[in-house]
Amino acid sequence: MHDIRENKEELSRLLGALGNALASLLPGGWREAVAGCFFVGEEQAPQLQLHVFPADGEEPVDLMELSWDSGAFDDAILEVQRLCGGMRSLCVGAHDAWSSMTFRLSADGAFRIAYGYEPIAAYDARYVLRWQSRYLTEGGGAWDS
């Protein structure tokens, strides 16, 4: 986090709350979780991706898909989405208008953030698959760029 123009205390509070909200969604035995927050089109409509990597090394689990099936995570998902919107508002107020944010949380509490600044015209299967291939692959290749 170089050259932070946002209110650092508020940004820190929002990041902590985002980590806690994401952790509340996670089943036991996880090693990493990844949240993708996207603001799409002229309306800047919010979209969300949530995935967890089990500790046993299996493929990531799509928490949004699980929620569609059961509704079990609805409140926590809405909280993650609210916090993403709060972070974006704070950043936009400091002239840092990102269109996507990917938040990766490790079981030990460490986290990484990647921002995207390209406008998102369409949040469709192609966009989601491209994001997943960048941020949900073993080793998270996009984190090194």
User: Does residue 143 lie in a domain region?
Assistant: no
Look at residue 112 in the predicted model and tell me its pLDDT: 92
Res. 143 pLDDT band, cuts 50 70 90: low
Read off the pLDDT of residues 104-124 as tens digits, 9 standing for 90 and up.
999 888 999 999 999 999 999
The 8-class DSSP code of residue 125 comes to H
Look at residue 75 in the predicted model and tell me its pLDDT: 83
Q: Give the mean pLDDT of 87-110.
A: 91
User: Does residue 66 lie in a domain region?
Assistant: yes
User: Does residue 3 lie in a domain region?
Assistant: no
User: Does residue 1 lie in a domain region?
Assistant: no
Q: Give the mean pLDDT of 93-103.
A: 92
Question: Is the separation of the CB atoms in 91 and 15 below 8 Å?
Answer: no
Q: For residue 124, give both structure tokens.
A: 């469709």
Read off the pLDDT of residues 54-73 as tens digits, 9 standing for 90 and up.
888 778 888 888 777 676 67
User: Does residue 14 lie in a domain region?
Assistant: yes
Bridge partners for 104 per DSSP: 34, 112
**42: domain range?**
8-138
User: Does residue 145 lie in a domain region?
Assistant: no
User: Does residue 2 lie in a domain region?
Assistant: no
Res. 1 pLDDT band, cuts 50 70 90: very low
User: Does residue 53 lie in a domain region?
Assistant: yes
The CATH number covering residue 87 comes to 3.30.500.20
Question: How many structural domains are present in the chain?
Answer: 1
Mean pLDDT of the chain: 85
| CA distances to 24, 124, 126 from 12, in Å | 18, 31, 33
Q: For residue 134, give both structure tokens.
A: 């960048």
